[in-house]
Amino acid sequence: MKILGHRGLPVLYKENTLQSLLAPFSFGADGIETDVRLTKDGVPVLIHDETLTNFCGAGVRVGDLTLAELKEYKSNGETIPTLEEFLKLAPKNRCLNIEVKEYEAGELSVLICKTFYEGEIIFSSFNHRLINELKERYSGLKFGYLFDEQHISMSDEEILALFDKNTYSAHLPVIGLLYFPERLVNIIKELKKREIKIVLWTVNSKNDIARITEYVDYVITDDVRIFL
């Protein structure tokens, strides 16, 4: 089971900053998960939220700022890094889970990762159409579908059908084990039969996955120290 820092190590540092994203590696983590959006001038940057409210208290949208303008906003001296900046600093031959937040950021993120990083990269998104398109276009890369409450209405058959071709992983919320334990476990077992990797987020206690540890391939956690 590989341990990935959720947006880095947010229990110690501001999430998605270089300080946070690089910290898990010093504790021996296998990698990190981070989010990608585009600036107004089309540069992929690493931030989860659509606005800067949680980052520095500014209610401005990331997509309304050029990169130069975005870099003027800071949190404890840290700015929001570009995808390229992070890739150039990240240790090689580790695992990066790149979550694409916006459709427009998809292909550019893939191309930048291919250019600047040597190691395992998994591209995931809640936008299943985007993943469908990318996995057809880049058959040699790893792609995964993210699921949350917006997908509850999907039938098990519809979920499993997504994994019929060239799909590496399923990214499932660990909280689903609390609300839909039987259904989620059954889906996980079926996916494992199809040799799909199981990624659980956000796991902040070993007890959260005690009953299904044998099926879990990747854990995304706010505090990698719990598992290391």
Asked if 196 contacts 167 with a C-beta cutoff of 8 angstroms, the reply is yes
Domain-embedded: residue 72: no
Q: Is 75 inside any structural domain?
A: no
Range of the domain at 211: 2-48+80-226
- Judge whether 67 lies within some domain: no
pLDDT tens readout for residues 1-49: 999 999 999 999 999 999 999 999 999 999 999 999 999 999 999 999 9
The bridge status of strand 169-173 relative to strand 197-201 is parallel
Total domain count for the chain? 1
Point out the catalytic residue in the list 48, 128, 151, 171: 48
Average pLDDT over residues 192-202: 98
In-domain check, residue 71: no
Q: Is residue 69 part of a domain?
A: no
Q: CA-to-CA distance for 34 and 21, rounded, in angstroms?
A: 8
User: In 47-174, at which residue ranges do the beta strands (DSSP E only) sit?
Assistant: 51-52, 58-61, 95-100, 120-125, 142-146, 169-173
Q: Is position 151 annotated as part of the catalytic site?
A: no
Instruction: Quote the CA–CA distance of 31 and 41 in Å, as a whole number.
Output: 29
In the prediction, which pLDDT does 21 show? Answer: 98
| CATH code for the domain in which residue 18 is found | 3.20.20.190
**Joined tokens for residue 79:** 């700015």
- CA 149 to CA 172: how far, in whole Å? 10
Mean pLDDT throughout 96-122? 98
Establish if 36 belongs to a structural domain.
yes
Q: Of residues 6, 128, 151, 171, which has the active-site annotation?
A: 6
Give yes or no for a contact between 213 and 1, defined as CB atoms under 8 angstroms apart.
yes
Classify residue 70: in a domain, yes or no.
no
Quote the pLDDT of residue 160.
97
Q: Is 48 an active-site residue?
A: yes
